[in-house]
Structure 1
Amino acid sequence: MAELKGIETLTIEKDSFVIHPTLIWDEKQTLLIDTGMPGYMEEINLVMDKANKSLEDLTGILITHQDINHIGSLPEILTACTQHLTIYAHKEEIPYIEGDLPLLKTNPAKFTEEQWEELSDFLKFTYLHPPKAQVTVSLEDAQTLDINGGIEIIHTPGHTPGHISLFHKKSGTLIAGDTLLATNGHLQPPNPVSTPDMELAIQSIEKFLAYPIKQVVCYHGGIVTENVMEQLQSLVKTKAS
């Protein structure tokens, strides 16, 4: 996506884990979409250099949903940055991100003793002390953020209640968060193990068919550019049958 001015998919590999946050910018703003696990701040800063940007350039952070591998480094980045950062999230995710409600999938109270003992010490500590931060802008479905020609908010629940995806109008790029996964250029629905409502998640994928999508960025799997609309139609038809 290097040929697309003002939008860059970042690739972070750490601890055998690969994620793809996205950076969008114009003359006035620089927006980071999702922040990885706790402790990923330095890696994020390093890969932002690919777009000749750094954490010091950020004006805001948008969180697609509450999962720890999306909000993990948000508090660390906020602490490190001296400039004001606007934090965006869907209204249904805000109580979880701000810590008023326990995170849906990593609430220690929901684990059996056996499941808890199987976790690493790092995950136990993280689940007991989840990252949290104040959200400054509440987002809604169909809202457009005025950055680099506009990005439209698409409410895509199923993976979490307030999960959002983003459509960058100028480039035709769908930033799917965890609504879609990708493997070797092939789009897939979200993982059922981490998606409480798969039926609703497929309905969310169906919403994408209304957009002129040219490429998809999956947080897990990266960029998909080939036969995007055909792949989306196939996913919706397969799950409906």
Structure 2
Amino acid sequence: MQIAEGLHRIGSDVVNCYLVVDGDGVTIIDAGLPRYWTLLRNELAQRGLTLDDVRALILTHGDSDHIGFAAQLSREKGIPAYLHPADFDRARLEVKKPNSGWGPIKVGPMAEFLWYSARKGGLRPRPVGELRPIEDGQVLDVPGSPRIIHLPGHTPGSVAVHVPAVDALFLGDTMTTRNVLTGATGPKPAPFTLEPREAIASLARIEEVDATWVLPGHGPAWDGGVAEAVRLIRHAAEQ
């Protein structure tokens, strides 16, 4: 689905991953769930592109619902995943997330999330293949020239990815616009956050970023700008 010129989403807003497309090829932000592989190929085909046009995969963090097809992309096309080293062990499935930081739960939204994830291969995640480290402030030489901003809190290696070329900031699970456990909408802290206070403190690192589109790992795209998204996330955290 096209969000804006050069900016696309794969899948549904239950679990998001994104494509940045320019004349040099495609950068993928997050790899969703394993069966998003077919969705990726279909989305590329609709744009007259193939997997040969993919130049990079960047993971906002190492949770299982973000590493999806990363192993297959590495195996079939030799494309490694860029990830902050603090989350390497998560992406390799060497550690499991503790059962904390869930927050409120409503049966309907949680069941929808679990059912959707299961249908898309989420019950059988595959460890990421080759990983390449990224660090705070780094600008990658890949389509879109994305800049990495380290935002620890949700996980130790969570990052935002700023792509001025498409006027977008990708936040992974530093923000949700549709809580998968409650169905609540709008910019809010994401559930399953390991260090909620640290996640909120990390927002100071992005509030000056100039981008219209603020794109979460779960929920619809937000086009109200970064500053307003940060304000709303902080406000929700105080409730």
TM-score by length of 1: 0.76
Q: 1:68 aligns with which of 64, 70, 77?
A: 64
CA distance in 2, matches of 1:175, 1:159: 14
What does residue 142 of structure 2 align with? Answer: 147
2:133 corresponds to 1:138: yes
What does residue 12 of structure 1 align with? Answer: 11
Q: 1:162-181 alignment to 2 at 5 Å?
A: 162-181=157-176
Higher relative contact order, chain-length normalized (CA < 8 Å, sep 6+): 2
> What's the CA shift string for 1:137-187, capped at 9, x where partnerless?
200011111234521101111111101110112333111111111149721
Change in 2 beyond 3 A, CA 1:181/1:78? same
Provide the secondary structure at the position in 2 that maps to 1:167.
strand
Q: 1:191-230 alignment to 2 at 5 Å?
A: 191=191, 194-226=192-224, 228-230=226-228
Q: What is the identity percentage for the equivalent residue pairs of Structure 1 and Structure 2?
A: 23
What does residue 92 of structure 1 align with? Answer: 86
Q: Which amino acid aligns with 1:104?
A: K
CA distance in 1, matches of 2:166, 2:3: 10
> What's the CA shift string for 1:93-147, capped at 9, x where partnerless?
1233234x323358xxxxxxxxxxxx99x69x976x6411233420001111123
Provide the secondary structure at the position in 2 that maps to 1:49.
helix
CA distance in 2, matches of 1:175, 1:89: 14
Residues 35 and 73, structure 1, Cα contact 8 Å, conserved in 2: yes
Q: Which amino acid aligns with 2:213?
A: Q
Residues 55 and 143, structure 2, Cα contact 8 Å, conserved in 1: no
What does residue 187 of structure 1 align with? Answer: 187
Q: CA deviation at 1:78?
A: 2.9
Instruction: Note the residue ranges of structure 1 that are not aligned, 5 or more in a row.
Output: 107-118
Q: How many residues align?
A: 217
CA distance in 1, matches of 2:46, 2:136: 31
Q: CA deviation at 1:205?
A: 2.2
Q: Which amino acid aligns with 2:175?
A: L
Q: CA deviation at 1:195?
A: 0.8
Cα root mean square deviation, aligned:
3.0
Runs of 4+ aligned residues of structure 1 deviating over 6 Å after TM superposition are none
TM-score by length of 2: 0.77
Q: CA deviation at 1:234?
A: 3.7
